[in-house]
Amino acid sequence: MTQRRFKDMDWMLRDLAASVPCIRHIVVLSADGLCMAQHGSERDSGDRLAAAASGIKSLAQSIATELPGDEGDVKMVLLELTGGFFYLMSAGERSYLAVTADAEVDPGLISQRMRDLVLRIGEHLSTGTRTPERAAP
Are 98 and 114 contacting, i.e. CB atoms less than 8 angstroms apart? no
* Between 1 and 106, the higher pLDDT residue: 106
Question: Burial level of 127, CB count in 10 A (0-12/13-18/19+)?
Answer: buried
pLDDT > 80? residue 36: yes
pLDDT tens digits, one per residue of 67-116: 887 776 788 999 999 999 999 999 988 899 999 999 999 989 999 999 99
Alpha-helix runs per DSSP H in 8-130: 10-19, 43-64, 107-125
pLDDT tens digit sequence for 119-133: 887 666 655 555 555
Q: For the whole model, what pTM was predicted?
A: 0.83
